[in-house]
Structure 1
Amino acid sequence: MTGRLPGPPVPADEETRKLLDPYRLPDGRPLALFQVLAHSRAALDDLRRATSACLKGIALDARTREIAVLRICARAAAEAEWAVHVEMFAAEAELTEDEVRATGTRGVWRGWSARDALVVRLADEIHGGCTVSDGLWAGLADEYTPREIVELLLVVTQYLKVACLTNALGLPAPEGLPRLPHDLD
């Protein structure tokens, strides 16, 4: 692993090693972000809790969640996290290759359903100004329940934080994983 810190820590205790075990790619490679954040137990615990909340603790379907994650990671140019989510969750979310690619392209792709396009726009607006316009809010309210809207905001803002951490730490996308299209505005 390369990045700005001197590589992943070698956890000094068995408890930390056990905490890191689940955070691996399907081929067994460890997820670099979790390893690096293990330098601080508080940071590791925060990421573990927030990730679990976004992946297991919400009612949003996997497709909606992953469109939100992939789009915010793409907008933030967090290729490492984008690639990990494509590898680990795109199939579960039933995203096509075109849809995955569209999360990293300029504008709102014409192939999105009206509901999916709202999720893309939400990630774009949060990335662009950390807020949601009245027009988008009205569209979300027409298509999603209040719970779903809150959960969409949770996912988008959590993965914006993850994208910032990934980029600040200089973590590269794992070798052999898809690469982010580089044609966002």
Structure 2
Amino acid sequence: MPRIAPLAPPYPDDVQGHFDAIMRGAPPLVLFRTLAKSPRAWAKFRGGSLLDRGPLSLRDRELVIDRTCALAGAEYEWGVHITAFAAAAKLTPDEIAATVHGGSAAPVWSPAERALLAAAEALHNRAALDDPEFAALRAHYDEDQVLEVLLLCGFYRTVAYVCRGLDLPLEPGGARFPRAA
């Protein structure tokens, strides 16, 4: 039994319009249907969601999101992103596994990707970047991109709280955390 039952179809016209815009023809996610039960929560989520194209490449964006979700134990959201974006982001199976096990220390990353993942790890562990971590990011990313990294980490940590706090069931067909090697 869900902690908060997701919205069931037929959806109100405005909510259906949001689902159509975000999901592009696919059924809406349990997360979206649950948040849409509260007009305020749904509006706040959409307003801060960073679902648009930002200053990072799709690959960099997904690495930040995937590592943040993995660190927070948010298999639901990690699985949604791996299923929806890993192929387009050209993530290999070893890289996907390293977003969960190994993180920035895994040998599969470029120096720029290592800096991204280290930033996600530092923000998760300490809610801060030290000078070397910030310098590593700035060696590869401009100010807008660094701000995007910070916002993505914070937003997806919030998403992790929602998913785990509600104990959302994993999406059918969604990726699962890989086993440790």
2:147 paired residue among 146, 150, 156: 150
Cα RMSD between the aligned structures? Answer: 2.0
Deviation of 1:63 (Å): 0.5
Aligned to 2:158: 161
Decide whether the 8 Å contact of 1:75 with 1:127 is kept in 2. yes
What is the number of equivalent residue pairs in this alignment?
A: 179
1:119 paired residue among 91, 116, 121: 116
Q: Distance in 2 between matches of 1:182 and 1:159?
A: 22
Q: Distance in 2 between matches of 1:78 and 1:3?
A: 17
Deviation of 1:36 (Å): 0.4
Aligned to 2:102: 106
Instruction: Give TM-score scaled by structure 1 length.
Output: 0.87
Structure 2 alignment gaps of length 5 or more: none
Deviation of 1:47 (Å): 1.6
Deviation of 1:106 (Å): 3.5
Is residue 77 of structure 1 aligned with residue 73 of structure 2?
A: yes
Deviation of 1:85 (Å): 0.3
1:50 paired residue among 41, 45, 48: 48
Q: Distance in 2 between matches of 1:4 and 1:140?
A: 39
Is residue 30 of structure 1 aligned with residue 28 of structure 2?
A: yes
1:128 paired residue among 97, 122, 125: 125
Structure 1 alignment gaps of length 5 or more: none
Decide whether the 8 Å contact of 1:80 with 1:174 is kept in 2. yes
> Residues 177 and 69 (structure 1 numbering): CA distance in 2 closer, same or farther, change over 3 Å?
same
> Residues 166 and 25 (structure 1 numbering): CA distance in 2 closer, same or farther, change over 3 Å?
farther
